[in-house]
Every structure is written in structure tokens, then in C-alpha cells.
Amino acid sequence: EDQVTQSPEALRLQEGESSSLNCSYTVSGLRGLFWYRQDPGKGPEFLFTLYSAGEEKEKERLKATLTKKESFLHITAPKPEDSATYLCAVQAGQAGTALIFGKGTTLSVSS
Amino acid sequence: GAGVSQSPSNKVTEKGKDVELRCDPISGHTALYWYRQSLGQGLEFLIYFQGNSAPDKSGLPSDRFSAERTGGSVSTLTIQRTQQEDSAVYLCASSLQHRLSGNTIYFGEGSWLTVV
């Protein structure tokens, strides 16, 4: 069964304290791995798509990386406005199916 | 429109009543998805449309749930005889086409359903 596991469930950082969020997956035939940010009371906001192991993408203080078993979302020198829940999702299978989501990591950054 | 639009944004209904949730995808997006997000849970896939047809209904939790899409655009998710466990945020998303390689999937703000 295709599965996505995110860790930690919650992460508290001080402003400027860099860290990483983990997304491990077991799927048959990965077609893409997606990262989203979700603020309270809002829908998920797209951040990155990664398609193959070794791929990296960056956006401001965020950098996403992908291996054959997991993805990391690195947050460099975070600011309070980076506080949100970060969701990881995979699309798998030959024909392509809907995204399978992890439960997310809730990040809190204090000043 | 500029983004995926959902209505109502909030709905409180009595147990046993039927509810309809509406989704207006981004113009030109042929693929449309419904997800459910319960408190403390991840997003749960419900159904996906390609155009007006629904090739994948595997996530619908029971026969009380149904969805349709007309004109390749607006979709309606209907929940009959609502139960308290149906309380959740119902999220709609759309993309240019279902083969997501190279096509970003965009979410709406969700419809918050509370069954009392």
C-alpha cells in the first residue's frame, strides 16, 4: 500500500534556527513528490514538485530535496511568517492517480 | 476566476440533513479533485474528475457521498443523511490535466462542514 509519513509532527524553532522536515514514502512507481504549505483556515498552497532522486528546488528560505526513499524540506534562517503546516504528497502508479498526503509537520517559529 | 473557488465556506447542518458543496475550478483546468481533511488527519482523497467523467471514485467513504461535474467546470459534492463523522473540511483542487507531471495542482480554501 502506498504510504507517506512525515516527521516530526510538530517543530518549534527560534527565528534564525535552521532545520529540516522529513517526508518518507513507500510507493510503487513514484511519478512526483509535492510539498505544500497550509496556514490555519486556508487551503494548501503549492511550494515544490520533485520528480527524480537527486533533484533539488529552492524558494526563498526553503529548499526541497529528494532521494529514492524520502524528501527533506530544509528551512534556512526561518522567520515567524514561515510558521505553518507543511504537507508532503506523492503521486504514484503508471496511469497517475490523485495525490497521497502525509499528515503534515506543524512548524512554529518564534522571534 | 483567479483561483479555485468553493462555497459555502462554512456550513452547519443537523444530523440527517443533506448538504451540497460547490467547487468552481480554475478556468481551463480539466482535472478536478475532492479531498477531505479531518482535525488532526491528513488529506483524504475522495474523487477525481477528468472533464465530466469520474474515473476514480475509490475514496468516497460511503454511498451517502456523491459528486458530479457539469460542462467540464463546476462540481458539486453531495452528502446525504449527514452524520457527525462527516464533519471536516472539504477541499477542492484543480489542475490543467490529470497527468500531473509538469502540472501544478491548486487548492481552494475549503468548505468547513459541521454536523450537529
Mean per-residue pLDDT over chain B, rounded = 91
Chain B neighbors of A99, CB-CB under 8 A: 33, 43, 45, 100, 105
Contact between residue B70 and residue B82 where contact means Cβ atoms under 8 Å apart:
no
pLDDT of B100 above 70: no
Q: Which amino acid is at A15?
A: E
Q: What's the DSSP call for residue B51?
A: T
Chain A: give the shortest CA distance to residue B106, in Å.
7
**Mean pLDDT value across residues B10-16:** 97
Chain B neighbors of A10, CB-CB under 8 A: none
Residue B98: band (very low, low, confident or very high) from pLDDT cuts 50, 70, 90:
low
Task: Kindly identify which residue of chain B lies nearest to residue A104, measuring between CA atoms.
Answer: B42
The pLDDT, as a whole number, for residue B57 is 84
A34-89 pLDDT, tens digit per residue, is: 999 999 999 999 999 999 999 999 999 999 999 999 999 999 999 999 999 999 99
The pLDDT, as a whole number, for residue A94 is 56
Which of A34, A29, A30 is CA-nearest to residue A6?
A: A34
Task: Kindly identify which residue of chain B lies nearest to residue A47, measuring between CA atoms.
Answer: B104
Q: Which amino acid is at B68?
A: E
> Per the structure block, which three cell numbers stand in for A17?
534556527
The pLDDT, as a whole number, for residue B109 is 96
Across A63-77, B26-40, B75-89, least confident range:
B26-40
pLDDT of B24 above 60: yes
Chain A neighbors of B93, CB-CB under 8 A: 43
pLDDT of A95 above 80: no
Residue B1: band (very low, low, confident or very high) from pLDDT cuts 50, 70, 90:
low
* Contact: A104, B42; criterion CB under 8 Å: yes
Strand ranges (DSSP E) for chain A?
3-7, 10-14, 19-26, 30-38, 45-50, 56-59, 62-66, 70-75, 84-92, 100-101, 105-110
Q: Work out the angle at residue A92's Cα, subtended by the Cα atoms of residues B34 and B98, and round it to the nearest 5 degrees.
A: 50
Chain A: give the shortest CA distance to residue B35, in Å.
10
Residue B84: band (very low, low, confident or very high) from pLDDT cuts 50, 70, 90:
very high
Contact between residue A72 and residue A23 where contact means Cβ atoms under 8 Å apart:
yes
Q: What's the DSSP call for residue B83?
A: -
* Residue pointed to by grid coordinates 524540506: A73
The pLDDT, as a whole number, for residue B42 is 84
Residue A96: band (very low, low, confident or very high) from pLDDT cuts 50, 70, 90:
low
* Residue pointed to by grid coordinates 475550478: B25
* Contact: A100, B45; criterion CB under 8 Å: yes
* Upstream peptide bond of B55 is cis (omega within 30 degrees of 0): no
Task: Measure the CA–CA gap between B42 and B113, rounded to whole angstroms.
Answer: 16
Contacts of B12 (CB under 8 A, 6+ apart): B114, B115, B116
* Contact: B101, A89; criterion CB under 8 Å: no
Portion 2-41 of A in contact with B at CB < 8 A: 4, 31-32, 34, 36, 41
pLDDT of B108 above 60: yes
Chain B: give the shortest CA distance to residue A41, in Å.
8
Chain A: give the shortest CA distance to residue B58, in Å.
10
What is the percent of chain B where pLDDT is above 70? 95
B80 compared with B72, residue with greater pLDDT: B80
The pLDDT, as a whole number, for residue A23 is 98
Q: Which amino acid is at A12?
A: R
Residue B50: band (very low, low, confident or very high) from pLDDT cuts 50, 70, 90:
confident
Residue B58: band (very low, low, confident or very high) from pLDDT cuts 50, 70, 90:
confident
